[in-house]
Amino acid sequence: MSKYQVKSGNVQAKINSSFDDGIYNLIRKCLPDGVKVFEANLREIEKEAKNNWLVRQPTKPVRDDEGNIKISKNGKPRIRKQSPSKGSIDKFRINSRIVQSGEIEIYLENYSPYAFAIKTGIDSKGRNGKEVYLVLGKRIAKELLYTPQMKQSRKVIRQYTKIIMKLQK
């Protein structure tokens, strides 16, 4: 169930909206093969996103203004400790909603509040320190979630339409 919370000063309102979830469950019951198409495609995108999602590492080299690693007096690279990762790599979910035009959207999102702010940097690494091959300075939510969903949308809609056409025969 979706929950919305609004705060203003000392006033707080919580709204539980199960309408969008109900629509998705209705689609799931009426067209289970269609939902499988959506979910299979989104799970594939999620798997690829998790493989390339950036994770804060426990240590990071200190760099100067030109991007070179600073060296300490004893000749070793300077390294600083970082706070632990908040785990945005584990916060993916498939969601649905009805937009103003009456269309139903089913999409993959990372519900971490800071997910869209994460950008690639010089020392960016994935889970377990794995190298990640993304362009420097790009937002990973756009590159790993939004763009792949847009690229796959026509293919998924064609498959979904074929399923609906089979039901009409």
Q: What are phi and psi of 128, to 5 degrees?
A: 60, 25
Structure confidence at residue 12 (pLDDT)? 59
Structure confidence at residue 1 (pLDDT)? 46
CA–CA separation, 127 vs 139, rounded Å? 17
Structure confidence at residue 5 (pLDDT)? 56
Q: How far is CA 55 from CA 34, 49, 66, 83, 93, in A?
A: 34, 12, 24, 11, 18
* Residues of the chain under the 70 pLDDT cut: 1-21, 23
Helices 32-52 and 147-168 cross at an angle (nearest 10°) of: 170
Residue 52's Cα: distance from chain center in Å?
A: 11
Nearest to 94 by CA among 139, 133, 42, 48: 42
Structure confidence at residue 56 (pLDDT)? 83
Q: What is residue 1's three-state secondary structure? A: coil
Structure confidence at residue 49 (pLDDT)? 92
Structure confidence at residue 105 (pLDDT)? 81
Residues 140 and 74 sit within 8 Å (Cβ to Cβ):
no
In the structure encoding, which two tokens stand for residue 109, read together? 């999102």
Structure confidence at residue 41 (pLDDT)? 92
Structure confidence at residue 142 (pLDDT)? 93
In terms of pTM, does the model score above 0.85? Answer: no
